[in-house]
Structure 1
């Protein structure tokens, strides 16, 4: 079916059986599209209620394609149909040979709209012999089975199309690797005068993909290693932060904040090449609301190498107001007595490295502190400090910050590289920031208590709140803790955003964060 050139330009592919006609509509190639069935003289769509990959595999088998690797797509992925919706609540078994054999709620017995039309993508290209789904020998569906592909005439552009057809959409701009050897298979070898431009969505969209069984040189089968990271951060100030989106079933999807915490954030950051330590999780669409489908219930233990190794449930049941985000730790301070001071360390090539102080000044210090979540409302950072020299390699840079950037990566030309530095200490800072404030009072000595936690201001719940906690707040803000008066029930007005659920102090702490 894959080789039929006459069908390449068609948007409808139909198969007739004794019991039922079925077709795929709206795809760019015969093996994908919206599922439509013919009943009582009328073509109608299928509702996506309960629609899954087993149902898709039955459709693909009925159409003459491989049932293995069939992808079920909901939500009118290939456009909305019109008129009759024939089937809903379809539940196929893997052994079913046709959609008519599957259980369903009855012909025309549905409560769906065409925004819920079901679609499928049948697998006509696959990779075998690799260590994961993104690498291996190229296999093409031909005459009812997968055949090997001769490497003659199969180059970089064809590899690009293969990877894109498998759902790896090359959006990093990195070429697939074709200088790989995954051996020779035992099935018949296919030869072709295929000629791709490289931007096609499928091999069948390339010029003359007339695969046929033939002779080939003794070289290994055509093989590729696709280069694709099925995870991205969107809408942040730099590549280290943003809304989390995962590539699943050929679509970018957001993640619901059910169960989401710093463990999941650490896995995301590590997979993207940052340090997992200090990763900050955010919920409630912190970096804006996404669009499309949502993955819910994703849970990690924090030790996973890839986010796809974590457990998760299905898609749906959450709104984009709960999209998750992360902030990866690409700058840190070490050697100081607290988190706001020390030698500046920048994440580079898989580890934190010290920074040469040449070319690093007040503006860069402001950005480094802001990058760490200290927003400089306490004054300029102190850079006339000495926290010594580290033992590892030192980074030099032609970085040039204005001072108002949110991260060092947003500054001009932050091209960090290993280099030589003088005998001076590594670049160090003391950030000036008080992570505590009083809001809505008649003066700076009173107001609603807000604490800065995980890069945002949060209110404090009054559960157990009394004068001991109030005395620590006042003392940290530079007032006398004696006689401090605690107030509850939003005495100075209600705040917004997240809350700290409860705080317990003994009244002797120096800082509120010690409670």
Structure 2
């Protein structure tokens, strides 16, 4: 049973009071009111951001960030609730609003209870994380205590969030791995009507918070997302320039690629600066659309996404004039792969040094390093980091020891690495990784080979960028026990994790 959290109540001389329960902080939780000699919870039928803002102001808790509801389950006892609360917007307290009669939760049309996250509480932000632009990534609920809940965001709800970010509409939503027996519609953590201007105006189902920390198979992609890649060259920093807009890869006309824009693309690809922009489809012709909108970069932007855009020079451009680009440096990122696991996104980490696959050893391997590996391999987010059994075939040399990562790096090479063999190999375990999924494999035409060409993985290898992961200790709550990797089930109790409202005993709140 969850005990009542400490609260700061707003109370007047008439015995009326207002407080938030069960949120772990006095500025977030279920809304409890005392009115006309009775106390109970607040029906969620008319609950919205404006009413929640009034509650937060009255409690000196800042602004209202989110207006979730707690959905009453059939097995729970009916609760006393205050119904029919209507405010004009200029009130300084809830008691100045029109307040309806008392009833039970079964009298509420939504059969739900109002809740709120105020800005002075634990909720920090909602964000898309781990994408190659601000308009794509995994939907995350970030708490003040550095707790990150990764939740699915269906396409309709994702469109609200995309518009809020200035990224257009959603082309692709995401679906989280939620556990439970409810129908798909009931398993939505966030539910929007489609007319909201802000994701915080939507309803958050608090019942699912403890179940939504499972990685999603897909990421949210907004129509404003764009990124660049180079394909068909002799190394990863040269080739046909392809630009992705939303979900579609296309080319740009050679006349629309100037030096400042080329430098931004090379920098985005971690390839130094632009050396040349070969014309006449030098690296081959593309197969997608030829974008007629041109980029007008200043040259100091970090991403192509940040550059101004406008009409191109030649609206009738075709693939015979596709732009190419050669940057100053070959990619320094060494190829990675995962071996001896249950899929190509799970197993013992190996790194390619001068064409030789070598072991990665680390006596302090954790989720931060695993997050980087999963991102580089386009395998989603890290669900586990473990000591892998040493390879049982042949002699595999040691290529890397002691990778110290922050967790936000794009490639393992960006971590603090020790290449020297200062510790006897026998005393160090192999680094093992369990990633959330296979990611979106995109292979340019003609390159579906079993070798790594232009950073495009074969059916056995998988390399590039996606995702991010927090710094939690590896424990069984990260995975469904039925799906857990065998290495994560061998000994160790791990830490349990609980956040949210799933085990609320609501009957205590009624008088």
Q: TM-score range by the shorter chain?
A: 0.3 to 0.5
Larger radius of gyration: 1
Question: Which is bigger in relative contact order (C-alpha 8 A, separation at least 6)?
Answer: 2
